Amino acid sequence: MTGAAAAGAIRIDRLLVYLRFARTRSAALALIDSRAVRRNRQHVARGAESVHCGDVLTLAVGGTVRVIQLLTLPARRGSPAEARSHYREVDGDGLDRKGQITIAASTPMAGRQPDDPEDFS
């Protein structure tokens, strides 16, 4: 393992190459510069930003939006199957059109009828 992967962090531009979302670090930087990458719902500003296990990445790649959660950090660029073993796709159910915010129905408050007026006292 590289020093960064052993420490639990890796540069996001390198990670995108290792996970096969970009062919080169230059292509990964172009993806980042086009604001197509988010880490934990925040736009990634630089390729040198660190990524850790458990982070959620949102990638606008090839006309689709992919949301992945990092399970482990790769030490190198491997086969596509090996790359997929380092992350899991987050289920798209319950996401809005852009795949950013989880939408769920709110549960009614216990003991309150839906037609009851709010008590503001």
Q: How many residues does the chain have?
A: 121
- Alpha-carbon torsion (32, 35, 36, 37), positive or negative: positive
Q: pLDDT confidence of 1, banded at 50, 70, 90? A: very low
Span 47-63, pLDDT tens digits: 999 999 999 999 998 88
What pLDDT does residue 101 have? 52
**Does 7 or 51 have the greater pLDDT score?**
51
Contact 15, 25 (CB under 8 A): no
pTM for the whole structure: 0.70
User: Is pLDDT above 60 for 6?
Assistant: no
Q: pLDDT confidence of 74, banded at 50, 70, 90? A: very high
Tell me the domains of the chain and their CATH numbers: 3-89 (3.10.290.10)
What pLDDT does residue 62 have? 81
User: Is pLDDT above 90 for 29?
Assistant: yes
Average pLDDT, the chain: 81
Give the position of tokens 């992350």.
87
